[in-house]
Structure 1
């Protein structure tokens, strides 16, 4: 049984963490991939749902989960965002109010490094960022170490692991100000796999991009990096981010095929899980399942081989390798 599902949801992030005793969901954009995957798993109750920050591509699917008539939610974890005025944020608040009327549901409006580690059976989810000091300065405020906070600055960064420092780090939309705070607060980001922040896009000013990528990779030191991106949204991952990842010696896989890599051609290499890009052949790695072992977060070797063969033979200009196979 896989422990972590990194879902292909197009532009956005969504992760399912599961043990034999419990299930958790972290982020989800609009679309059916999350509920479809939970249905495929036979899940009727999600013990913990986590929203890293208030952007629509991280919360809209959680809104759908909260209002689902076939899946219940135990506890929702999120940080408040007093300056958020979007319609989807207002709808989320309303959905939380409705869900709160049902017994068994509760909301925890605090998601910082001081939050108690969340247990998903034998799997631990630890919020390593933001620090309490950064969270208290709020979106729009001045960060303790300098700079102005955005919602991305306060994005929760979560380690998912069975064994210390060899799990998966979900970096949300962490930006350069948030990374500086992580360094100052000595947050331990070490993990064997990293879901790269902001879909491989800019972490702030363009001039910071390469430096940001290098610093983040030094702090995490992963062996593999995943980018949750949408082929039809923006131009992610950015070349400078890809360069930093490859320079660090990491294996790289994107959920969907970046436009810079070429035209879509196949979906025969994908795992069987729901993937938003499957029908239009926009998926590259697609939805990825990982097992948390003592040596790292490991993908099934057969699917990994199929994926690498697809990239090597059917992708015209793959960004994830420096030379064609």
Structure 2
């Protein structure tokens, strides 16, 4: 299937080569495009058309790696239409086995990968762990595999055994740390749970990043209190921006206690959601001036559901910048949102310089 056959109308915008990380607003799910010129690495693929639009309009034809953090449908569904698309050349698809996942989409994805691999269209790697190190990297986009471990993928998901703890689908999520032009830009933790976080911290892995895409869309962490998980995670990552990739009207994410803990314990950290949470505003989303939204594909454009929308992280003057910038976004929130959870004070946080 080609992009034209899929009925996709690209949004005109410059296609010059650049280094950037784009966290697409895909509603309830995850998708990040890590771009180095006309090559890229994609991490998770919830949406198909939004991802197609982003790739086509940014001039990407070569997908070096597609990493699927775990087997949940809100992370893999878009891959079923992306991979057979003749408009793109795909290098390697990375994913881990999951003995507990029995969804139709997971079965279809495994069958599709088998067929495409046998046809010589791509390589399929049914194992990705911290021993893979920087193998996903491009020239100006360095990607470190933080989690899971070889032991984790060796035992796979399932109940506690004689030599290992219980490993859930979320606990097996692939966690990636991304550097743009040497600067620690992004931590992509999939749906990492509290057990997985404890394991990462016990191995003293470097996880600091300018932007943290919060695990599990701001939902439950799978152990302990949500406040404790949020504090430990943000202490480790020390993010300037915490982003919740979530869909309005799905699970009422992010949880209020998660946002409250971050804004209380880390007042200099900017908190943003791709779509406007129902915990912040009940009823129709107000219009207001929305010129802060990026001219990039975003699920929230339909039905006026956007909050910060699709987010771009790039390097300018040897510093990391995040778009949309906070000023216009915060102005809209303060004028039109009833009880914005992210508003802990009237002072906008000033991003700290980031160095390798």
Give the TM-score range, shorter chain: over 0.9
Displacement of 1:166 in angstroms is 2.3
SS in structure 2 at match of 1:128: strand
* Structure 1 match to 2:204: 186
Q: Is the 8 A contact 1:153 1:177 kept in 2?
A: yes
SS in structure 2 at match of 1:245: helix
Displacement of 1:198 in angstroms is 0.3
Residue 277 of structure 2, aligned match among 233, 254, 258: 258
Displacement of 1:44 in angstroms is 2.4
Displacement of 1:41 in angstroms is 1.3
Structure 1 unaligned blocks of 5 or more: none
TM-score by length of 2: 0.85
Structure 1 residue 7 corresponds to structure 2 residue 24: yes
Structure 1 residue 312 corresponds to structure 2 residue 334: yes
* Structure 1 match to 2:189: 171
Q: Is the 8 A contact 2:38 2:60 kept in 1?
A: no
Larger-gyration structure (1/2): 2
Distance 1:167 1:145 in 2: 36
Distance 1:98 1:225 in 2: 39
Displacement of 1:2 in angstroms is 5.3
SS in structure 2 at match of 1:284: coil
CA distances 1:74-127 after superposition (whole Å, capped 9, x unpaired): 111111113321100000011101211333511122211111311123111111
CA distances 1:9-37 after superposition (whole Å, capped 9, x unpaired): 00000000001252111001145211121
Identify if the C-alpha distance between structure 1 residues 120 and 293 changes in structure 2 by more than 3 Å, giving closer, same or farther. farther
* Structure 1 match to 2:5: none
Distance 1:30 1:278 in 2: 14
* Structure 2 match to 1:16: 33
* Structure 1 match to 2:221: 203
Q: Is the 8 A contact 1:112 1:156 kept in 2?
A: yes
- CA RMSD after TM alignment: 2.2
Matches within 5 A, 1:221-300: 221-246=238-263, 247-249=265-267, 250-262=269-281, 263-266=284-287, 267-292=290-315, 297-300=320-323
Displacement of 1:216 in angstroms is 0.7
SS in structure 1 at match of 2:335: helix
Structure 2 unaligned blocks of 5 or more: 1-17, 348-356
TM-score by length of 1: 0.92
